[in-house]
Each structure stands twice: as structure tokens, then as C-alpha cells.
Amino acid sequence: MKRILIISTNYSGSEGSNIKETGVWLEEFAVPYLVFKETGYEITLSSPKGGLSPVDIQSLSCSNPMEWDDCIKLLRNTTPLSEIDYKSYDVLFIPGGHGPMFDLANDLLVKEVVEYFYDKNKIISAVCHGPAGFVLAKDKNGESILKDKKVTCFTNKEEKIVRKDEDVPFLLESKIRDLGARFEDATPWAEHVCVDNNIITGQNPQSALLLAEEVIKALSN
């Protein structure tokens, strides 16, 4: 049985920031999680600190499918990443939301996990702001794992549209470009996924389903 490790954010926002309430964007966790579950994979949900991975309240809506409610419950009790035997997993997946920009982007254990998966050519996947969890990771030559790779994420245009471009610690698209990636984007809010060997990235919430399908396709090869 294939095993999938999901790392979600613990960051909920700060009174000292214009981003006072954030976390994981529910669609970006729920859609891939339910696809993976339907396929029968073993899934472990973790976060750097364990416990609550807060859901961005802006991603909560009466129009959300009812099965997403169970996903919210799962996010209330994540396993601390330090307690995970991450080497026993086949896939790493990081959902987005603005939270990862504040904690996963700076977490040294997340860096260690990403570097291990990359070195062993295991699948590394993330959607929207999730690729923030990749920015510290380097290969054995000390280069960014994203250098010369085809990668996407929540774009600078999309960040400006939601008026968070001056509130985030950095612009993720700009950071990924600075690391030497071959960044690709589509029209804001369009479904868009990049696959480059074992690195699979999605641009925005609308890309969550396609990303999950690409992960499953890669696992079956």
C-alpha cells in the first residue's frame, strides 16, 4: 500500500500582521485528501507542532461539499512532524493557504523531509502556497531543488488580486524564480499543474483536483 504524508500549517495569523486570520485553505487539503482516500492510500496528516492546523475562515462556505466537514475535524488533531517516520512514505503533499508562508517556509524539519524525498526521487507535491515548504531545500550539490525545474504556485498576480501582496513575508512566485526554477503560470484562477519528474505543483485552489490526479498517475508508473 502506498503511503502519503501530508504536512499542513500551524499558523493562524497574528494580531501584529494584516493577516490576522489564516491557515490552510480547506479546498486545497480536502480535495486531494478525499481523492487519495478514495484510491485506498494510507494517509498521515502532520504539522510542525501537531494539534490544530487552522482552516482559513475565508475558505469556509455553505457551498462546500458536506464531506469536507470531516476534513476540518482531521485538521484539528494533526501529528507532530517530529513523531513521523517520514522515510517510510512514498509521497509528500503540502496544501496551501497563506499559513505555510509563515511557518513551513522556515521550518528546518520540513526542509529535512523535503530534501530526503527529493534525494530518494520520491514524489514531492504542493498546491498554491504549499510550495513555500520547498524553498529551503537543497540537493547534494547545495543547489535549490527547484533550480531548472518546471514549477508553479500562487502567482504574484493572484496575490495582488486578493490584496495580500504587501502582507506576506515574501512573494512566492518571485522567490521560486529567484531560486532558478522555470516558473510557469496560467491565467489567474485557472486550473494549472506542473509536473517535472518527481516534483508536482499546482497554481491555486482550482488546481487541487488535477494535482491529486497527477500524484496518483505518478504513483502508478
Domain segments of the chain as ranges: 3-220
pLDDT confidence band for 221 (50 / 70 / 90): confident
pLDDT tens, residue by residue, 108-158: 999 999 999 999 999 999 999 999 999 999 999 999 999 999 999 999 999
Q: What is the rounded CA–CA span in Å between residue 77 and residue 53?
A: 7
| Residue 199 near residue 104, CB atoms below 8 Å | no
Say if residue 15's pLDDT is above 90: no
Q: Provide mean pLDDT across the span 35-55.
A: 97
Say if residue 173's pLDDT is above 90: yes
| Residue 151 near residue 200, CB atoms below 8 Å | no
Instruction: Pull the grid cell for residue 187.
Output: 491565467
pLDDT confidence band for 207 (50 / 70 / 90): very high
| Residue 144 near residue 114, CB atoms below 8 Å | no
pLDDT for the residue 142: 97
Which pTM does this prediction carry?
A: 0.97
Neighbours of 102 (CB within 10 A): 21
pLDDT for the residue 16: 78
| Residue 202 near residue 123, CB atoms below 8 Å | no
pLDDT tens, residue by residue, 177-200: 999 999 999 999 999 999 999 999
pLDDT for the residue 34: 98
What lies within 8 Å, CB to CB, of 11 at 6+ separation is 22, 23, 54, 98, 99, 100, 102, 103
For residue 125, list its beta bridge partners.
93, 200
pLDDT for the residue 135: 98
For 41, 65, 84, 104, 188, the CA distances from 79, given in Å and listed in that order, are: 18, 25, 8, 15, 34
pLDDT for the residue 17: 84
Is the CATH code 3.40.50.410 the one for domain 3-220?
no
pLDDT tens, residue by residue, 79-112: 999 999 999 999 999 999 999 999 999 999 999 9
The residue written with cell numbers 486578493 in the block is: 162
